[in-house]
């Protein structure tokens, strides 16, 4: 086997945007995160570290800074999602349409900034045993009881856990808005269209910064910039009482801002302010129960476990702190008290939002491997296992902030386990690489990197020799989008002659060539020529070129797929998304396609939507060939047709499963029928979300392998071998180990030292080395892209996370408001 050389490049601009707000779906299975650049992400919640998946991304207005995010309940059983609303500092309210992946304004402006929104709680909700999984109906597991130990007398955390449901009666939820002019505005949230204004509470001095409802929805609590907490009667719209928060903590008056409020079922009101104090109040009388001050900066977010006996706080110091309701016995009586349990600091910058979600996705069926007798080993089999706290139905805390990261914690075992980094590479730049040597450059392959509002075009030089880093090259060309709009998707043709992208308005196509000063096609200056596209093409969510680079395939936001002839500038094919043959009306209800793959002979086009449904089209007959429902209710994370074959499609899912599909026969391939549901545990616990597949240039029975990679690791899979096979080829293992060691993978130091010792010791039997199929290798830094440059060369694009962190603003004590 030829030695696999690693070509590494880190010369890429990468500055992810801060996460400003979080919201949990009504059934607790999904989390929405909105970023500072206006982008909204929908994450599928999973137990532990395996299965977290960004289902979809909706681009928004970068000029409208989001201040709050709420997710309404579905109002009918037919409704797949509730309404997802966000408020902005410009006074507008926007709705994020998850079905069409669009943003629309439902409240133009209230003339002042909206600092926070709060939905009316759901007390009169009918129980439903069919919550949604992956956006669709599934079965929910029971809630596990708490297992965290404590030296203080604990209140049972699992005794009165409420059951989530997805359907309520006919009444609309009410929405309260805390406004900068000192008022609280009340709205009804109908099934669709604009909000219905009800009434405003009396205006007070200072800015209204926070708002929350009492559990019975009879009262609304508000916090302002003058250090006061007010209780409002929802029926009479009068102020019931007010609290001077500074008397219970540190500071008062204009120097004290109440950033966050949360009301508990036990009648306790919790407040977080700009002094770093967490205060617990008796909401019936407005009296102080306890005051805790463990934060070193502003407390910007509060959250509670579903049983309302655990409160989490976070703020500008980057800490997440847990407070717990515990019993204290005395001679007189038994009393309850909120006690400080501990803190976790996973973020490097300010934490802006907290939310709690409950994973309800399907639990993997037990396999023979899981029932096998445990064998003691010298080394741990995998260092990314979080199954000790990964249980379905157990609440999970999610935090986000200015470092663009999202972390998940076990709400019931908060201090016992380290948090999980949901997205190791947030908002990673999308990368495309030409599949063959560029004819216009003549020296190497062209790499296209999609940034926020521009495309960076680079050339990878073919450097002979041993493993080494790719020489950092300046950007050969930057293509800025029209009006500096946000680029949604992009693509480059296989021969490197055409580049395309799409923003929110329309797609654009360019011809790319390199011309010397004498006018000949040779090394020199990059030239871009804009080409015309047919009129009426919608903006795209995904695009790809055909294998022969003659056509551009666009997945439009109107849920249709268009095939455009580049030379003739005309649409030569239009596909409707259909679940059944000749069903011309199903396209209206289908979700937009977010991923597309073409076969190497140009016959097949596979398209996957954000929920994992796959549509296969025959480009020769211009008809839909096959529809495959989502596999195990999981989304498609990566895929591709196998080189050298025309009908074999390999896809990976958010459940860390690999499927080999026979497209022509409309069925699972033989490998999947035998192995898909019996994959090794080390692969099911694959660290991070799979983001891509890298096939070798030549795929045959002798080279039937693929590299599955995430931002944290990559895994080698050989389809010609059994999943539990052991490789005995000493040359193969030696070359693989040498390449990975020189690349600098983050394997345990003990293993690396052992390998070096074995290689230096001439008495060691070389034939005794073994390598298992499905073994994975960890990366030292977040990886953005992996692909083969040639049969013996692997290109890896990565970036040190600390280099990314240096581009962020300084953390702690950042001025929050002032518009």
Torsion angle of alpha carbons 596, 599, 604, 610, nearest 10°? Answer: -20
Confidence of residue 138 (pLDDT cuts 50, 70, 90): very low
User: Across 239-243, 393-397, 743-747, 776-780, which has the greatest mean pLDDT?
Assistant: 239-243
Confidence of residue 436 (pLDDT cuts 50, 70, 90): low
Alpha-carbon distance of 409 to 389, in angstroms, equals: 9
- pLDDT at position 750, please? 43
Residues 707 and 642 sit within 8 Å (Cβ to Cβ): no
* Residues whose CB is less than 8 angstroms from the CB of residue 484 and which lie 6 or more positions away in sequence, other chains included: 453
Q: What is the pLDDT of residues 42-69, one digit of tens each?
A: 998 887 777 788 988 998 888 889 999 9
Confidence of residue 477 (pLDDT cuts 50, 70, 90): confident
User: What percent of the chain is modeled with pLDDT above 70?
Assistant: 75
Kindly list the domain boundaries of the chain, sorted by start residue: 17-365+379-421, 429-576
The residue among 194, 34, 188, 38 whose CA lies nearest residue 108 is 194
**In the predicted model, is pLDDT for residue 133 greater than 80?**
no
- pLDDT at position 95, please? 94
429-576 matches 17-365+379-421 in CATH topology = yes
| Cα 167 to the center of its chain, rounded Å | 26
- pLDDT at position 812, please? 58
Confidence of residue 711 (pLDDT cuts 50, 70, 90): very high
Span 223-230, mean pLDDT?
A: 93
Average pLDDT of the residues of the chain: 79
Q: Which helix (H) or strand (E) holds 754?
A: helix 749-760
Higher pLDDT residue, 149 or 796?
796
Span 488-515, mean pLDDT?
A: 91
Span 404-433, mean pLDDT?
A: 91
Fold observed for domain 17-365+379-421: Methylamine Dehydrogenase; Chain H (2.130.10)
Confidence of residue 90 (pLDDT cuts 50, 70, 90): very high
- pLDDT at position 492, please? 95
Strands (DSSP E) contained in 333-443 are 334-344, 351-357, 396-401, 406-410, 420-421, 430-433
The CB-based long-range contact list for 779-783 (8 Å cut-off, 24+ gap) reads 779/711, 779/712, 779/713, 779/714, 779/745, 779/746, 780/744, 780/745, 780/746, 781/10, 782/424, 782/425, 782/428, 782/711, 782/712, 783/425, 783/709, 783/710, 783/711, 783/712, 783/714
* Residues whose CB is less than 8 angstroms from the CB of residue 621 and which lie 6 or more positions away in sequence, other chains included: none
The residue among 551, 590, 557, 594 whose CA lies nearest residue 573 is 551
Span 106-121, mean pLDDT?
A: 92
- pLDDT at position 554, please? 96
- pLDDT at position 394, please? 80
Confidence of residue 516 (pLDDT cuts 50, 70, 90): low
| Architecture per CATH, 429-576 | 7 Propeller (2.130)
| Cα 558 to the center of its chain, rounded Å | 24
Residues 543 and 507 sit within 8 Å (Cβ to Cβ): yes
DSSP string, 227-291: SEEEEEETTT--EEEEEEGGGTSS--GGG--EEEEEE-TTSEEEEEETTS-EEEEETTTTEEEEE
Q: What is the pLDDT of residues 642-689, one digit of tens each?
A: 887 889 999 999 888 899 999 999 999 988 888 887 888 888 888 888
Confidence of residue 111 (pLDDT cuts 50, 70, 90): confident
DSSP string, 62-125: TTS-EEEEEEPPPSSTT-SS--EEEEETTS-EEEEETTTTEEEEEE---SS-EEEEEEPP-SSE
């Amino acid at each position: 086997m030829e030695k696999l050389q690693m070509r590494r490049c880190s010369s890429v601009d990468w500055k992810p945007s801060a996460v400003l707000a979080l919201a949990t779906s009504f059934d607790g299975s999904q989390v929405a995160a909105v970023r500072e650049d206006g982008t909204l992400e929908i994450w599928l919640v999973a137990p532990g570290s395996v299965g977290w998946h960004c289902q979809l991304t909706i681009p928004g207005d970068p000029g409208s800074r989001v201040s709050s995010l709420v997710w309404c309940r579905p109002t009918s059983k037919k409704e797949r999602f509730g309404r997802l609303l966000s408020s902005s500092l410009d006074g507008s309210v926007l709705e994020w349409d998850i079905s069409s992946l669009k943003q629309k304004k439902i409240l133009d402006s209230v003339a002042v900034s909206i600092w926070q929104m709060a939905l009316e709680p759901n007390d009169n909700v009918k129980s439903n045993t069919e919550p949604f999984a992956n956006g669709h109906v599934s079965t929910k597991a029971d809630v596990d009881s708490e297992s965290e130990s404590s030296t203080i007398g604990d209140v049972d955390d699992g005794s009165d856990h409420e059951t989530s449901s997805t359907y309520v009666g006919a009444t609309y939820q009410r929405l309260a808005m805390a406004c900068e002019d000192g008022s609280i505005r009340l709205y009804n949230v109908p099934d669709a269209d604009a909000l219905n204004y009800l009434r405003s509470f009396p205006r007070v001095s200072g800015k209204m910064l926070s708002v929350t409802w009492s559990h019975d929805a009879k009262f609304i609590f508000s916090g302002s910039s003058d250090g006061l907490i007010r209780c409002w009667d929802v029926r009479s719209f009068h102020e019931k009482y007010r609290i001077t928060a500074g008397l219970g903590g540190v500071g008062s008056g204009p120097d004290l801002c109440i950033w966050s409020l949360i009301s508990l079922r036990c009648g306790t009101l919790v407040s977080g302010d700009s002094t770093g104090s967490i205060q617990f109040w008796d909401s019936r009388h407005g009296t102080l129960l306890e005051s805790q001050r463990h934060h070193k900066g502003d407390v910007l977010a509060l959250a509670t476990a579903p049983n309302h006996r655990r409160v989490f706080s976070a703020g500008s110091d980057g800490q997440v702190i847990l407070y717990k309701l515990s019993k204290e016995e005395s001679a007189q009586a038994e009393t309850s008290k909120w006690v400080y349990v501990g803190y976790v600091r996973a973020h490097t910058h300010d934490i802006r939002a907290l939310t709690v979600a409950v994973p309800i996705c399907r639990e993997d069926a037990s396999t023979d491997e899981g029932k096998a007798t445990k064998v003691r080993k010298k080394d741990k089999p995998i260092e990314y296992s979080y199954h000790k706290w990964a249980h379905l139905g157990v609440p999970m805390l999610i935090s986000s902030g200015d470092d663009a990261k999202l972390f998940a914690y076990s709400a019931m075992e908060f201090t016992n386990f380290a948090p999980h980094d949901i997205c190791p590479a947030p908002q990673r730049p999308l990368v495309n690489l030409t599949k063959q040597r560029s004819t216009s450059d003549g020296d190497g392959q062209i790499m296209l990197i999609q940034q926020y509002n521009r495309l960076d075009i680079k050339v990878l030089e073919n450097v002979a020799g041993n493993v080494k880093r790719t020489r950092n090259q300046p950007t050969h060309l930057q293509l800025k989008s029209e009006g500096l709009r946000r680029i949604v998707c992009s693509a480059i043709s296989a021969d490197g002659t055409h580049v395309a992208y799409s923003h929110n308005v329309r797609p654009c196509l360019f011809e790319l060539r390199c011309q010397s000063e004498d006018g000949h096609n040779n090394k020199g200056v990059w030239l871009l020529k804009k080409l015309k596209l047919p009129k009426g093409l919608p903006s795209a969510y995904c695009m790809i070129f055909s294998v022969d680079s003659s056509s551009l395939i666009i997945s439009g936001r109107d849920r249709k797929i268009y095939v455009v002839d580049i030379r003739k500038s005309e649409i030569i094919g239009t596909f409707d998304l259909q679940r059944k043959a000749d069903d011309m009306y199903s396209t209206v209800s289908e979700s937009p396609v977010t991923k597309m793959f073409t076969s190497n002979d140009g016959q097949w086009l596979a398209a996957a939507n954000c929920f994992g449904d796959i549509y296969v089209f025959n480009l020769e007959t211009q008809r839909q060939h096959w529809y495959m429902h989502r596999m195990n209710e999981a989304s498609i994370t990566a895929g591709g047709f196998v080189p050298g074959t025309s009908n074999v499609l390999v896809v990976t899912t958010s459940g860390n499963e690999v499927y080999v599909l026979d497209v022509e026969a409309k069925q699972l391939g033989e490998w999947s029928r035998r192995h898909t549901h019996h994959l090794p545990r080390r692969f099911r616990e694959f660290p991070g979300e799979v983001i891509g597949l890298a096939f070798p240039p030549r795929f045959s029975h002798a080279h039937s392998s693929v590299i599955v990679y995430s931002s944290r690791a990559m895994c080698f899979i050989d389809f010609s071998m059994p999943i539990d096979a052991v490789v005995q080829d000493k040359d193969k293992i030696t070359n693989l180990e040498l390449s990975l060691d020189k690349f600098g993978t983050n394997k345990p130091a003990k293993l690396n030292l052992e390998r070096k010792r074995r290689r230096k010791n001439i008495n060691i039997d070389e034939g005794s080395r073994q390598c298992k199929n499905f073994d994975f290798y960890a990366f030292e830094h977040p990886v953005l892209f992996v692909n083969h440059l040639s049969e013996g060369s692997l290109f890896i694009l990565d970036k040190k996370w600390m280099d990314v962190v240096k581009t962020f603003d300084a953390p702690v004590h950042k001025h929050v408001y002032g518009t």
